[in-house]
Amino acid sequence: MHQAGVYIHIPFCRTRCSYCDFATGAYEGRLAERYVNSLCSEIENFDAVNIATVDADTIYFGGGTPSLLSPAQVERILDAIHTRFRVSENAEVTMEMNPGSVTLEILCEFRRLGINRASFGAQTFDDDELRRLGRSHTADDVRNTISLMREAGFDNTSFDLIAGLPAQTLKSWSHNLDEALALRPEHISFYLLEVHQGTPLAAQIARGQQPAPDDDLAAGMYRLMLDRSSEEGYEHYEISNLALPGFESKHNSKYWTGAAVYGFGCSAHSYDGKATRWSNERDAMRYTDLIESGLGAVIETTNLDDHDVRAESVFLGLRMMRGIDLREYRERFGRDLREQHALELERLEDAGLIVFADDQMKLTRSGVLLSNEVFSVFV
């Protein structure tokens, strides 16, 4: 029986990045205190699964910049979680942080509270690229922050890199990899830049102030990332994630394997691990008003039918580089995936996008780069 994950959304940031499409806003102390009170209330009153106590082995503080909260506020949230969930002693507890925004004292306090994994957005080690993205930190801040994390006792760190930034070259990306791998984080998440409509970056590209992303160049950067990280001992375990052996993200793996994850806070999404998803009000102020008024924050609930559950198990499972166990699929759903989609899978296999081996189906490296085309077969 899989244990659940708990996700906590903290929507506050010091500044907003030009590419960001998340539910975030500027930090304001009074609202933050109200928000934390509302979060604790939502957690303590959680009864969506009608279970007296839910077992959980991961907690993830995402955002936003959760490390902007005070240790006392984080402690209150953790206390609320432990009131409502039976949290395992060796739970993975992750907090997202911004480089340059935490002190050694604060990091030691977070570590004392049980935060044992730190994740932060390096994005790039080129200060010009950071400025164009609207990031508030420098490359030196990244180096200093990971040094402080080590000093505070964090031995499980992760950071994000973005490939395909406007005006980024293969040479500058190679420099990024040199810098990132030299710091030896236990985990690296890397993404190809997506330009979301409504963001400042999308407007800058539309006005010609920034060049549009080059998909072919980004694909080359992706391949270089995989080659270089493999040489350094990292395992490519999910489409966008690398880890040293034993340091895969337990929390994020729950999303790809269909385990239950219960989200709290504005814009948080939940899944009961069976067939029901729900999501909270996106706006932080509105979310806080709803909770303070004694009303629920859930604004949308979706009950998946059998086809949806099967489809999700395939296209989420294929994100994992180990692929899908076809025998487990037959046992779970009473259907043979290869028979269900015989023609489409033959076409994908002939195109070199998927491969079958030992009753496993998985993406090839080319399939990873064209994964949306593969996933569309099962939707």
As separate numbers, helices (DSSP H) first and strands (DSSP E) second, the chain gives 16, 17
Residue 137 pLDDT grade (very low, low, confident, very high; cuts 50, 70, 90)? confident
Question: Please, is 183 exposed, middle or buried when counting C-beta atoms within 10 Å of its C-beta (0-12, 13-18, 19+)?
Answer: middle
- Rounded to an integer, what distance in angstroms lies between the CA atom of residue 71 and that of residue 110? 6
pLDDT for res 86: 95
**pLDDT value of residue 126:** 84
Residue 26, pLDDT above cutoff 90: no
Average pLDDT on 238-250 reads 97
Same domain, 28 and 105: yes
User: Among residues 215, 154, 213, 164, which one has the least CA distance to residue 190?
Assistant: 164
**What's the rounded mean pLDDT across residues 172-176?**
90
Identify the helix (H) or strand (E) that includes residue 353: none
Mean pLDDT (whole number) for 184-188: 97
pLDDT tens per residue, range 109-134: 999 999 999 998 888 888 887 787 77
Regarding whether 130 and 25 lie in a shared domain, the answer is yes
In a domain, 295, yes or no: no
Dig out the tokens for 269 from the structure.
């999404």
Q: Among 9-13, 21-25, 246-250, 334-338, which stretch is predicted with the lowest mean pLDDT?
A: 21-25
pLDDT score of 199? 57
Answer yes or no: do 127 and 228 share one domain: yes
Indicate if 67 and 175 belong to the same structural domain: yes
In this structure, the answer to whether residues 339 and 219 fall within a common structural domain is: no
Task: Among 232, 256, 280, identify where a domain stops.
Answer: 256
Same domain, 82 and 221: yes
Residue 16 DSSP SS3: coil
pLDDT attached to residue 14: 62
Q: Does 176 lie in the same domain as 48? A: yes
- Cβ-based neighbour number of residue 303 at 10 Å: 10
Structure tokens at 36: 């934390």
The boundaries of the domain holding residue 106 are: 4-256
Asked, for residue 316, whether it belongs to a domain, the answer is: no
Which residues make Cβ contacts (< 8 Å) with residue 294, sequence separation at least 6? none
pTM: 0.90
Tens digits of residue pLDDT in 85-103: 999 999 999 999 988 889 9
Is 108 a residue whose pLDDT tops 90?
yes
Q: Residue 92 domain-assigned?
A: yes
Q: Would the pLDDT of 1 be above 60?
A: no
Q: Is residue 102 part of a domain?
A: yes
Residue 208 in this model has a pLDDT that exceeds 90: no
Are both 330 and 239 inside the same structural domain? no
Count of domains forming the chain: 2
Q: Does residue 101 sit in the same domain as residue 192?
A: yes
Q: Is 283 domain-assigned?
A: no
Model confidence at 24: pLDDT above 80: no
3-class SS at 322? coil
Q: Are residues 219 and 354 in the same domain?
A: no
The pLDDT of residue 19 is: 37
Same domain as 367, residue 232: no
Among 49-58, 61-70, 302-311, where is mean pLDDT lowest?
49-58
Boundary of a domain, candidates 204, 237, 256: 256
Q: Of the candidates 197, 226, 256, which is a domain's last residue? A: 256
* Nearest residue to 203 (alpha-carbon basis) of 162, 160, 166: 166
> Does 369 map to a domain?
yes
**What CATH number is attached to the domain comprising 104?**
3.20.20.70
* In the predicted structure, residue 197 carries a pLDDT above the cut 70: no
Residue 107 covered by a domain = yes
d(CA 148, CA 104): 6
Does position 371 have pLDDT exceeding 80, yes or no? yes
pLDDT, mean over the chain: 88
Report whether 61 contacts 76 (CB < 8 A): no
Predicted pLDDT of residue 311? 93
Torsion region of 374: left, alpha or beta (phi above 0 gives left; psi -120 to 50 gives alpha): alpha
User: 18 pLDDT band (50/70/90 cuts)?
Assistant: very low
Please indicate, yes or no, whether residues 208 and 354 belong to a single structural domain of this protein: no
| pLDDT for residue 30 | 81
pLDDT at 323 (0 to 100): 95
